[in-house]
Amino acid sequence: MDSIDDAAVWRLDEKHAIVMTTDFFTPVVDDPYDFGAIAAANSISDVYAMGGKPFLALNIAALPGKLPLDMTRGILRGAAEKAKEAGVVIAGGHSVVDEEPKFGLVVLGMVEIDKILTKGGAKPGDHLFLSKPLGFGVTTTALKADLTSVEDVAEVTGWMKLLNRDAGQLALDCGLKSVTDITGFGLLGHASELARASGVGLDFDFQQIPFIEACHKFAEAYIFPGGASNNMLYFNEQVIFDPALSESEQMLLFDPQTSGGLLMCVPASKVQDFRVKAAERNIPVWEIGKVSLEPGLRVVK
């Protein structure tokens, strides 16, 4: 597929296609097991964002030669157990020695061609739903600076380890067409890509956007990762902010997310069914805006 979607898609026959993706990064938390689990959940997410079912993966590991063996085992075990939860077999991989640790996965999935989810299917009038809160990047940056509490780390780690499997299945069961996951470009970066691919605009209500509790104090102290500033510089011209929004509130919408949630465009006729199914399955979803005919992104408070 020639697009800016979340993963590569290769048609196998008239009904089925392969979805292929990869991602890896440096540690975002201190615990090796949690790092491996987060890396796996993050790598697998793009398959869910395309409407696919992941089934096979390879590890990508670049680790220091002096890294204690129990830490290496912890990373690999965390990834293996998260992959098992997703129904994915890790069939091997490749490792190199690197002074800065990095870990991730190559992931394969299957998708039915008529159910592929893309960034280009949003229509004016669709309601925008998000399946995870924001604030992961600023909080993990604070963690690296030794500014977080045990509760802060538990909150952000729990969300990052959560698979997007159930949210992805919800999108399929409700017949959605346009979905993307929120990762390194932040909410507004990925939303901008979706809007451009669909030829629409997006209107967000800041008061309805969910954030993890820990992130607000770090945002006010302006402890953002460098990627947030990069995202703001690249995407800011496409966004009109309500003057009532503070600079830190605006930056939270550019905050890079690791293993973030799915942004789903739900047609008005399907919103009630979507909400009912989400509640029945205990899937967290927040309505945060609407799709518009007017180009660009707008955020009101």
**Among candidate residues 90, 115, 140, the one where a domain is terminated:** 115
Compute the 3-state secondary structure of the chain and give helix, strand, coil in percent, each to the nearest 5: 40, 25, 35
Distant-in-sequence, close-in-space partners of 165: CB < 8 Å, separation ≥ 6: 48, 86
Task: Establish if 1 belongs to a structural domain.
Answer: no
- Same domain for 156 and 71: no
CA pair distance 205, 300, nearest whole angstrom: 5
Contact 301, 245 (CB under 8 A): yes
Task: Establish if 132 belongs to a structural domain.
Answer: yes
**Among candidate residues 50, 83, 115, the one where a domain is terminated:** 115
135 φψ region: left (φ > 0), alpha (ψ -120 to 50), beta (else) = left
- Same domain for 151 and 111: no
Distant-in-sequence, close-in-space partners of 234: CB < 8 Å, separation ≥ 6: 189
- Same domain for 232 and 132: yes
- Same domain for 268 and 173: yes
pLDDT of res. 69: 96
CA pair distance 271, 172, nearest whole angstrom: 14
- Same domain for 296 and 190: yes
Q: How many distinct structural domains can be found in the chain?
A: 2
Task: Establish if 42 belongs to a structural domain.
Answer: yes
pLDDT of res. 2: 47
Query: Mind listing the pLDDT tens digit for each residue in 142-160?
Result: 999 999 999 999 999 999 9
- Same domain for 258 and 202: yes
Task: Establish if 176 belongs to a structural domain.
Answer: yes
Which domain CATH number covers 191? 3.90.650.10
- Same domain for 133 and 110: no
Question: Within 10 Å of residue 171's Cβ, how many Cβ atoms?
Answer: 26
- Same domain for 284 and 236: yes
Task: Establish if 103 belongs to a structural domain.
Answer: yes
- Same domain for 291 and 166: yes
- Same domain for 91 and 131: no
- Same domain for 133 and 111: no
Query: Mind listing the pLDDT tens digit for each residue in 196-236?
Result: 999 999 999 999 999 999 999 999 999 999 999 999 999 99
Task: Establish if 122 belongs to a structural domain.
Answer: no
Beta bridge partners of 155: none
Beta bridge partners of 128: 265, 289
Range of the domain at 74: 8-115
**Among candidate residues 115, 136, 158, the one where a domain is terminated:** 115
pLDDT of res. 5: 72
Task: Establish if 3 belongs to a structural domain.
Answer: no
Which domain CATH number covers 81? 3.30.1330.10
pLDDT of res. 3: 59
Task: Establish if 66 belongs to a structural domain.
Answer: yes
Residues of the chain under the 70 pLDDT cut: 1-4
- Same domain for 81 and 59: yes
Place of tokens 């129990």: 70
